[in-house]
């Protein structure tokens, strides 16, 4: 009963934080591109700055959770308070893209400590149904982000005001999530050396590689895609909000299916099928001559694949009692590195010419197909 109550509080706080992020991410991209008047590379660099910070912190978070699990709640509370301050005060008052990118990097660092820790708590509260618990976690996160995206598209507030609203919601979520995480940890002892040895299993390394390649795709589905589809296809702000809402709702369904499937056939096999969907959709995004309807459908498929993969690549149950926290931290780091690399490549190509704007999606498709082939080699 206690675990169920804690999960409900955790899911409520997560939903509030996700709505805040769904408002903030496109609002910050538009703020930098149109209010400050910066380049596409700077707008895409927002994702890279955020993910660079998150990559630095995620692995450290996994190690910290492995050796000091009782302090996760404090990390989550302080991290979300800092996130709220950045969104409410720092970014809306900035008039320099470089300042915003640095602020995004700091936000990424605290996020690197917050979300891997919370994912570990979710998995532990889920017990024998950790796959389903993680699927619900990411489904609610996706739903919250989608609602936030929709609100961004239709709100009459300025971009700066939208960012401020998201900061207030983010700070509030910290209270709920800290309560849900308090005194939740497995009372087992394992040294870091044993954890590292467990994580170096070939199949687990493949899962971490999958997190990187899916992260590469995820990175260019964010700020870069928002600006790209607006400038190349003329997609309006409200139409973008609708697309993000539909895509988010589909990703919720996909994530729940993937999580339930993982409890039945295993994480690796479920991830294999998700990779195939993501790869095909990424190729579709890279062929702009197909038109806006096909590109929109491909975006829905790619985003669904990326979101459905998250409960799989983050599930600490894959590594068992030993190395679980480190596994979650490592997969978050790999994903963050992919999300940092993708937008930089995409932004540079777009600055050369918008004609090359679809190439990053094609490159992502190739990386994903190589990852699929590697799975077949490992499993025979």
| Mean pLDDT over the full length of the chain | 84
Q: Which of 13-22, 256-265, 329-338 has the lowest mean pLDDT?
A: 256-265
Domains and CATH numbers, the chain: 2-379 (1.20.1250.20)
Tokens representing 146? 């989608």
Say which residue, 367 or 6, is predicted with more confidence: 367
Give me the pLDDT at residue 79, please. Answer: 93
Rounded to an integer, what distance in angstroms lies between the CA atom of residue 85 and that of residue 156? 23
- Please state, as a whole number, how many other Cβ atoms lie within 10 Å of the Cβ of residue 200: 11
Say which residue, 206 or 323, is predicted with more confidence: 206
Any idea which residue has 């400038």 for tokens?
Answer: 231
Phi, psi of 222 (to 5 degrees): -105, -120
Closest CA to 281 of 250, 242, 237: 250
Residue 266, SS3 per DSSP: coil
Question: Using 50, 70 and 90 to split pLDDT, how confident is the model at 264?
Answer: confident
Q: What is the dihedral of CA 209, 14, 56, 31, to 10 degrees?
A: 110
Question: Using 50, 70 and 90 to split pLDDT, how confident is the model at 138?
Answer: confident
Check whether 128 has a pLDDT greater than 70.
Answer: no
Q: What is the mean pLDDT of residues 89-112?
A: 93
Give me the pLDDT at residue 197, please. Answer: 66
Rounded to an integer, what distance in angstroms lies between the CA atom of residue 300 and that of residue 229? 13
Element containing residue 71 per DSSP (H, E): none
Phi, psi of 31 (to 5 degrees): -60, -45
Check whether 288 has a pLDDT greater than 50.
Answer: yes
Give me the pLDDT at residue 66, please. Answer: 63
pLDDT in tens, 266-278: 778 888 999 999 9
Element containing residue 306 per DSSP (H, E): helix 292-313
């Amino acid at each position: 009963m206690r675990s169920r109550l804690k999960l409900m509080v955790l899911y409520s706080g997560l939903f509030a934080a996700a709505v805040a992020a769904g408002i903030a991410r496109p609002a910050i991209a538009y703020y930098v591109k149109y209010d400050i008047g910066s380049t596409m590379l700077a707008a895409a660099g927002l994702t890279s700055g955020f993910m660079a910070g998150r990559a630095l912190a995620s692995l450290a978070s996994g190690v910290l959770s492995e050796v000091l699990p009782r302090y996760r709640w404090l990390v989550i509370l302080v991290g979300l308070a800092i996130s709220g301050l950045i969104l409410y005060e720092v970014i809306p008052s900035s008039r320099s893209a470089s300042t915003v990118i640095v602020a995004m990097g700091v936000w990424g660092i605290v996020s690197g400590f917050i979300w891997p820790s919370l994912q570990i708590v979710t998995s532990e509260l889920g017990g024998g149904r950790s796959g389903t618990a993680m699927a619900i976690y990411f489904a609610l996160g996706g739903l919250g982000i989608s609602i936030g995206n929709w609100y961004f598209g239709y709100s009459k507030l300025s971009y700066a005001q939208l960012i401020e609203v998201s900061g207030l919601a983010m700070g509030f979520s910290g209270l709920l999530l800290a309560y849900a995480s308090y005194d939740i940890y497995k009372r087992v002892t394992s040294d870091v050396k044993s954890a590292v040895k467990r994580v170096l299993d070939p199949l687990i390394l493949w899962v971490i590689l999958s997190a990187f390649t899916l992260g590469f795709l995820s990175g260019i589905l964010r700020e870069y895609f928002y600006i790209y589809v607006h400038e190349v296809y003329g997609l309006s702000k409200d139409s973008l909000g609708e697309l993000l809402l539909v895509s988010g709702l589909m990703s919720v369904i996909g994530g729940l299916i993937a999580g339930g499937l993982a409890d039945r056939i295993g994480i690796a096999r479920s991830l294999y099928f998700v990779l195939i969907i993501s790869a095909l959709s990424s190729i579709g995004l890279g062929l702009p001559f197909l038109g806006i309807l096909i590109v929109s459908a491909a975006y829905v498929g790619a985003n669904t694949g990326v979101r459905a993969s998250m409960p799989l690549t983050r599930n600490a149950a894959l590594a068992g009692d030993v190395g679980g926290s480190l596994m979650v931290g490592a997969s978050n780091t790999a994903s963050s590195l992919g999300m940092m690399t993708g937008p930089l490549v995409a932004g540079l190509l777009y600055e050369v010419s918008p004609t090359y704007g679809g190439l990053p999606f094609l490159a992502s498709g190739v990386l994903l197909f190589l990852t699929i082939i590697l799975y077949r080699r490992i499993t025979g």
